Structure 1
Amino acid sequence: MALMTEKAADERYAGNLREALNVYFVMGSPNCGGRNPAAVLRAAIEGGVTLFQFREKGPGALQGQERTELGRKLLGVCRQAGVPFIVNDDLRLAEELEADGIHVGQEDLAQLDRTGLRQRFKGRILGISAHNPAEAREAVRCGADYIGAGPMYATATKPDARAVQGPGIIAAMRADGITLPLAGIGGITPEGAAAVLAAGADGVAVISAIGGAGDPREAARRFSRLFAG
């Protein structure tokens, strides 16, 4: 399975997707505590972030050209570091930036041509959110490369988030035969990550615990240590 376009894989990233999901940082300008998002991302990558998703949502989120330009800057940071760059939900922006992939939630998936989504992003990473085994099976049918499962724990980042599922939902997906790479998301801290991984996740997707940390580098390092050795 190609993680990106063939050229991108050759030049920027030679790892596999399960490893890339280990420390999956999701962030936009509202998640940085007023700091420069590019600086936060650089520090987080230095701490061990292995995959990045640009998610510019929430109060104060940039719009239009400002949003695009921020995405371009963060893409540059990822390119320099060899970290794959994923865009949240916005297919047009993902194509304009030539992102390494796209991640879509269930609400967005309902509005899209599911059968054409994989073909539209052929050669790029396709991630789909799922909250139960049935949604996970549908993600597989749609051609997902990985699944984001959650919410693991309570989170204030997404006010409209589904009810907390806990790590048990990952175990349920695995028991249901889901073998795709899988990342848990939602309120995950370094202390809570171990249970997520033990349930069968390949990694953890994190917003506030890194973006909102006083030291994003050290915060990312705490997650990265879970995969050391």
Structure 2
Amino acid sequence: MKSANIEAKALALYAVTDRRWLKGASLASAVEKALQGGITCLQLREKNLPYEELLATAQQLKKLCQQYHVPFIIDDNLEIALACDADGLHIGQKDMPAAQARKLLGPNKILGVSAQTVEQAITACRDGADYLGVGAVFPTGTKTDAVVVSPSTLKAITTAVDIPVVAIGGITAANISQLQNTGIAGAAVVSAIFAQKNIQRAVADLQRSLIL
């Protein structure tokens, strides 16, 4: 399975940042450890940073990702994605419509869209998404209001679209194997990477447990 702007294999272990888990440690340092451990894609998710600080962080992480040949995605901030020339943008159902994001982003950048239903997935695919993020597949402490998507719905979504699907939400090394045979291209992980004392080892453990 391959989309226009990203290969499915690049989505196998997709790390999403959340500095709340770092207890004051450097985000760049944590990201580099995750890259060393073997993540295949990185999303910078920051909802509350001032523009200049967010842009500086994005530029710093983009350089790290380039060193490791890993796609760098910005969550829900088209302005920052364009300003730092990120590889792509990820948007949710409550953000701008996917068709508008695709138009503003241009044809050659990665566009990821969150989906919880088959209808949302098909619409996002039609409107220019390169991949889908589907979840929460397990209860999660990162987004306490997230709706849990059942394995049957996850499989229905992967069957309904011809672009890669990434599962997200509450995924750990202990439960990641439950996602086998759902048709996903990979798993997006937050706390199972960034809340761990040894980030590099945590990524390696996830890699070993990730059999799709």
The TM-score with structure 1 as length reference comes to 0.85
Q: CA RMSD for the aligned pairs?
A: 1.8
Q: Is the contact made by 2:177 and 2:211 (CA closer than 8 Å) also made in structure 1?
A: no
Alignment partner of 1:24 is 2:29 = no
| 1:69 corresponds to | 56
Deviation for aligned residue 1:2 = 4.5
- Structure 1 residue 196 displacement after superposition: 1.7
Unaligned 5+ segments in structure 1 are 4-15
Measured in 2, the distance between the counterparts of 1:80 and 1:228 equals 26
* TM superposition shift of 1:166: 3.2
Which residue in 1 is equivalent to 2:172? 189
Distance 2:26 2:156 in 1: 39
Tell me, yes or no, if the aligned pair for 2:158 and 2:164 is still in contact at 8 Å.
Answer: no
**Cα offset, 1:117, TM superposition:** 2.4
Query: How high is the TM-score relative to the length of structure 2?
Result: 0.91
Change (3 A) 1:167 1:63: farther
Partner of 1:131: 116
User: Does the CA-based 8 Å contact 2:45-2:74 persist in structure 1?
Assistant: yes
Distance in 2 (CA, whole Å) between partners of 1:203 and 1:76 is 23
* Matches for 1:1-229 after TM superposition, within 5 Å: 2-3=4-5, 17-57=7-47, 61-109=48-96, 112=97, 114-121=98-105, 122-161=107-146, 163-175=147-159, 177-226=160-209
Deviation sequence 1:54-103 (CA, Å, 0-9, x none): 0013xxx4322112211111111111111110000100000001000000
Classify 1:184/1:51 alpha carbon distance in 2 versus 1 (closer, same or farther; 3 Å). Answer: same
Offset of residue 199 of structure 1: 1.2
Gap regions ≥5 residues in structure 2: none
Identity fraction in percent: 34
Note closer, same or farther for the CA distance 1:31–1:132 as it changes in structure 2 (3 Å cut).
Answer: same
